[in-house]
Amino acid sequence: MSAEKILQKIADKFFSRENLTAKLVCLLLAIGFWIYVMVEQNPITERTLEARLLHVNVPNEMMIYNAPDKVQVRVRGNRDRLDQGVEEHLNVFVDFKGATSGRQILPVRALYDEGEVVAVRPETVTVYLDTVSQKTVPVEVHQIGKSEADYTLSNVKPTPAEAMIFGPSHRLDQVTALAATVDITGREGSFATESKLAALDEEGKEVAGLRIMPADIMVEGTMVRQLLTVDLPVELSIGGQLAADLKLVRTELDPVAVRLTAPPSILNGLTGVKTKAVDISGLRKSSTVYAELELPPKSFCRTKQVRVRLTVEKSDR
């Protein structure tokens, strides 16, 4: 028997005159009960939630910039359905099909397969699309912290010496260096440490939104004693006293300045290099003598002594 004949037989039996009134009453009660359950027990309601914004049909070799992570969506449906969770049935996305490089204003679309979408906020998003590029940049080592007095970082070797960066072309153009930071506080002798790379612009600020390969490198270095070389004037020291009938009218040094090499802590505040005291107590006439230099500790100077021309005259007393 066909389905059509079966349905016809059921309808003929239901609408037969026998107990027709009772059957109609039962049907109305069933409809009423269904309406009660749907309206009173499981009513249609609305709910607002944050939903993750997806990107679809993004062109190859393109990167999206400034897109929000989430948007607000208001949905309508049966309360039971909403209480069971909305997220797995909600799809919120921006379609980038046909989008080109540059600034784009695109609609936010939302689909809810358990009801309907009432509103999306924002309705559109302003994003920036750019081509994904790459370039190789040399690594620079930047030191931070404070070393022991007179020590400095030397023989620095980053491994690898350069790295690859990937990202939007307009951001890659800002990068002038890759910096590996090394803290030298408390370090002595030779060392090796791992350092995370950062992409910097010409002002030394970090450029965000880029991927660096490798992200971490090894930096080797040696802490060595720092020496500085400066030119300082020679300061003559004189000892003893001339005879009462003589006076010292002029002193001349040759050379008048010497080149001194020493640690920074020694040179700090040093204004000149003194000579050992030249005794003038036995001087009777103008003479030329040699005076040894009083060199500071841990210092080096090629000149060991200076020539001193002492000019004396008869005193007027």
Sequence spans of domains, the chain = 3-37, 44-122, 132-225, 228-314
pLDDT bin (cut points 50, 70, 90) of residue 148 is confident
Q: What is the pLDDT of residue 238?
A: 93
pLDDT of 211-236, one tens digit each? 999 999 999 999 988 889 999 999 99
CATH number for the segment(s) 44-122: 2.170.120.30
Q: What is the pLDDT of residue 8?
A: 60
pLDDT at 16 over 80: no
Q: What is the pLDDT of residue 12?
A: 60
Alpha-carbon 120 to chain mean position = 35
pLDDT of 150-204, one tens digit each? 888 889 999 999 999 998 888 899 999 999 999 999 888 999 999 999 999 999 9
> Facing residues of 163 across strands?
137
Answer whether 142's CB lies under 8 Å from 219's CB. Answer: no
pTM: 0.51
Whether the domain at 44-122 and the domain at 132-225 fall into the same CATH topology: yes
Q: How would you classify residue 196: left for phi > 0, otherwise alpha for psi between -120 and 50, otherwise beta?
A: beta
State the average pLDDT over residues 307-317: 87
Q: What is the DSSP letter of 59?
A: P
Helix (H, G, I), strand (E, B) or coil at 230: strand
Answer whether 106's CB lies under 8 Å from 71's CB. Answer: no
Give the integer Cα–Cα distance in Å for 111 and 50. Answer: 14
88, 126, 171 from 121: Cα distances, Å: 19, 13, 29
11, 23, 31, 103, 250 from 17: Cα distances, Å: 12, 10, 21, 74, 149
For the chain, the average pLDDT equals 85
Q: Which fold would CATH assign to domain 228-314? A: RNA Polymerase Alpha Subunit; Chain A, domain 2 (2.170.120)
Answer whether 120's CB lies under 8 Å from 145's CB. Answer: no
Task: Judge residue 112's burial from the number of C-beta atoms within 10 Å of its C-beta, 0-12 exposed, 13-18 middle, 19 or more buried.
Answer: buried
Q: 7 or 280: which carries more pLDDT confidence?
A: 280
pLDDT of 27-66, one tens digit each? 666 565 555 445 554 577 888 888 899 999 988 778 888 8
Q: In terms of DSSP H, where are the helices of the chain?
A: 3-14, 20-36, 79-83, 169-172, 264-267
Give the integer Cα–Cα distance in Å for 87 and 72. Answer: 12
pLDDT bin (cut points 50, 70, 90) of residue 251 is very high
Poorest-confidence range of 24-38, 204-218, 235-249, 301-315?
Answer: 24-38
Answer whether 259's CB lies under 8 Å from 231's CB. Answer: yes
Of 166, 29, 10, 42, the C-alpha closest to 114 is 42
CATH number for the segment(s) 132-225: 2.170.120.40
